[in-house]
Amino acid sequence: MSMTDQAATPLLPARLRRFLRAIALLRESPVAMIGTGLILFWVLVAILAPLLAPFDPNATLQPFAKPGTAYAAGHGTFWLGTDHLGRDILSRIIWGSRTVLLYGFVATACAYAVGIAMGLAAGYCRGWLDELLSRASDIILSFPILVLYVVIIATIGASGLNIVLAVTFASAPAIMRIVRGLVLEIRERDYVAAAKMRGENAVYIMFVEILPNARGPLIVDACLRMGYVTITIGALGFLGLGLPPPDPDWGGMINEARSMALAFPHMTVLPCIAISSLVLGLNLLADGLREISLRD
């Protein structure tokens, strides 16, 4: 960094400085940069879906068109072909990215909000509260995770809100265990003792003194967990427990075409590639962040 850049840096807003510092850290890891590129690609696709999608994702146009087929009744080309109902696969994949990213992010954020609150309370307060939350988490974690999702969705119904509730209920205990372990270590440090000496209350200590110092492992886990949630949303859609049709859903697209996979493999392979690429990006970003944290 030149002397001019160093002089200009203090004049930048604090949030912008943190953002630039984060970008500089990511550049230290090629793995993290590749992962970030894959994630940004799908984020841009989701944002620009109305501009990128060549057709209405729910419109019946030309059934069983092969990739690259021109639309016989109008202008345009089915670059990735169409499904058995004549819907353009490319348009459905593009619009489906909105579904996966929106519900994946919201579900992961809700699970973290609940898990962090539980973990902070259990690790800091200890005693009967720690025992209660830990035993409740053990009970939930003892169930096979996919079976738990299926039972919850089948009981309360398939919808976007219910998927978020199911993911939060099933994932929050695992997050709670991670946060609890971090809190048990951090609560013994000098700056926490200093906050207690100043007379700070427990809520301030947990959220201001302890939580920011536990953010590194939690950010890495959040990237991995959002990848798991993406797979979960796809699996629920494949089982017919995802978002109600006809809205595009990558897992639902695979489910609708599974009986025709041998005759029309593009109808199932392309949504699978979309899911895999997004999950790969999240996993690579998590690996890169872990690599950077170990290097520091």
- What pLDDT, in 10s, does the model give residues 154-192? 888 888 888 899 999 999 999 999 999 999 999 989 989
Domain assignment of residue 287, yes or no? yes
Question: Exposed/middle/buried for 248, CB within 10 Å: 0-12, 13-18, 19+?
Answer: buried
Note the pLDDT of residue 159: 82
Domain assignment of residue 16, yes or no? yes
Please state, in angstroms and rounded to a whole number, the distance separating the CA atoms of residues 101 and 278: 9
Note the pLDDT of residue 1: 46
Q: What is the extent of the structural domain holding 11?
A: 3-57+86-295
Considering the entire predicted model, what is its pTM?
0.87
Domain assignment of residue 171, yes or no? yes
Query: Into how many domains does the chain fold?
Result: 1
Domain with residue 184: its CATH number is: 1.10.3720.10
Domain assignment of residue 28, yes or no? yes
Q: Are strands 69-70 and 77-78 parallel, antiparallel or unpaired?
A: antiparallel
Chain segment 81-101, per-residue pLDDT in tens: 999 899 999 999 999 999 899
Please state, in angstroms and rounded to a whole number, the distance separating the CA atoms of residues 17 and 10: 8
HSE value, Cβ hemisphere, 13 Å, CA-based, for 274? 33
Question: Exposed/middle/buried for 95, CB within 10 Å: 0-12, 13-18, 19+?
Answer: buried
Domain assignment of residue 205, yes or no? yes
Please state, in angstroms and rounded to a whole number, the distance separating the CA atoms of residues 186 and 208: 12
Domain assignment of residue 245, yes or no? yes
Strand blocks (E) in the chain: 69-70, 77-78
Q: What is the rounded average pLDDT of the residues 262-266?
A: 88
Say yes or no to pLDDT of 153 above 90. no
| 8 A C-beta contact, residue 107 and residue 231 | no
